[in-house]
Amino acid sequence: MTTRLIDEGLFADVDPPRLVGARCAGCGTVVFPRQDSCPRCSGGTMSEHPLPVAGRVWSWTRQAFAPKPPYRMPADGHQPYHVGYVDLGEVLVEARLAVSRPDIRIGLPVRLTTVPAYQDEDGTEVLTFAFRPDPEGQR
């Protein structure tokens, strides 16, 4: 099956996946996704900044109903999933959490991965970023 990323601009690398944000040269603020101006000081130049691949669940919820557009419904209909914020140290990233209900918790060590988001009309599987449990992250 052919695959593609939902937005290549979100990634610094694909294999293994790594997200890319931006860092302000003036105050050091890190953001994701990338943006052209700093939300903290408005004065610094923003430069590309690869993000850590591992972090911890900061907060989470269950997405039980289909989101509003531009969400694209999978062929088999909406299946509930977890979303939340992942603390990567320098920045909180909102993401899908590929974690089962019994295992999810605040503070859970997680690692970046990709998961199917939907299929294009031509059958291409479109992948988005997510975080899965990271057994090596237990401290």
pTM strictly above 0.75: yes
Q: Give how far the C-alpha of residue 121 lies from the chain's centroid of Cα atoms, to the nearest Å.
A: 24
CA distance 8 to 79: 25
Distance CA 31, CA 11 (A): 13
**Helix, coil or strand: residue 23:** strand
pLDDT tens for 19-66 read: 999 999 999 999 999 999 999 998 779 999 999 999 999 999 999 998
| Burial classification of residue 80, based on how many CB atoms lie within 10 Å of its CB (0-12 exposed, 13-18 middle, 19 or more buried) | exposed
**139 vs 28, more confident:** 28
